[in-house]
Amino acid sequence: MPEVIFPGPEGRLEGRYHPQKDRDAPIAIVLHPHPQFGGTMNNRVVYNLHYAFYNLGFTVLRFNFRGVGRSQGEYDQGIGELSDAASALDYLQSMNTGSKHCWVAGFSFGAWIGMQLLMRRPEITGFVSVAPPANMYDFSFLAPCPSSGLVINGSADRVAPPADTETFVNKLHDQKGITITHDVVEGAGHFFEDPHMDTMIGTVQGYVRRRLTENTR
């Protein structure tokens, strides 16, 4: 899988780009957890999400936010990281101009950034939000949430408690024109330690596969 360096708002960003042979393949971007708590694009959840999308026929990009790995810049409270994600999506789109589907997936802090990217980019057709930390970050900007997606979390998550995730999902459920699917992996913690990783990834793949065949927003 090629290592790529592409321009970001504060200098170069480092990523892993995994193209399909089909030039019209759907595209997906995967966003990693909090940079100040050891989050990188090689986080196990991020890595597995990357391959989940690739194995469904997506061309996929994951990358390091500013100040992580070989990405230039420094942590910017989520504001700069959102700009990084927008630059990464620009880069991915510039190489896949024939793609009809565009998805964003994020884990933890990356889920928060991913949902903000969703609000800014109307071309995003679906999202996967893994363990969104609704207890730490304000998700009220999703008014309304512009596209359907999957929220998935563990029942034993101590970082982002399930009760907060449920409150967040219930607010989204009230919105018309989109369908939010919520799945809870029984017994899983925030990082989906084994054996829960396979369950989570299987659920994500089943959901995305279904959406691609339905061809809906």
| CA distance linking residue 203 with residue 162, whole number of Å | 17
Residue type, 198: D
Q: Are 64 and 41 a contacting pair, CB within 8 Å? A: yes
pTM over 0.85: yes
| CA distance linking residue 84 with residue 74, whole number of Å | 11
The tens-digit pLDDT sequence of the chain (217 residues) is 699 999 999 999 999 999 999 999 999 999 999 999 999 999 999 999 999 999 999 999 999 999 999 999 999 999 999 999 999 999 999 999 999 999 999 999 999 999 999 999 999 999 999 999 999 999 999 989 999 999 999 999 999 999 999 999 999 988 888 999 999 999 999 999 999 999 999 999 999 999 999 865 4
**How far, rounded to the nearest angstrom, does the alpha carbon of residue 183 sit from its chain's CA centroid?**
16
DSSP assignment of 48-88 equals HHHHHHHTTT-EEEEEPPTTSTT--S---TTHHHHHHHHHH
Smallest CA-to-CA distance from 16 within 8, 5, 32, 27 is with 5
Kindly list the structural domains of the chain, giving each domain's residue range(s) and its CATH number in brackets, ordered by start: 3-214 (3.40.50.1820)
| CA distance linking residue 160 with residue 179, whole number of Å | 22
Cα three-residue angle 87-92-96, rounded to 5 degrees: 145
| CA distance linking residue 53 with residue 71, whole number of Å | 23
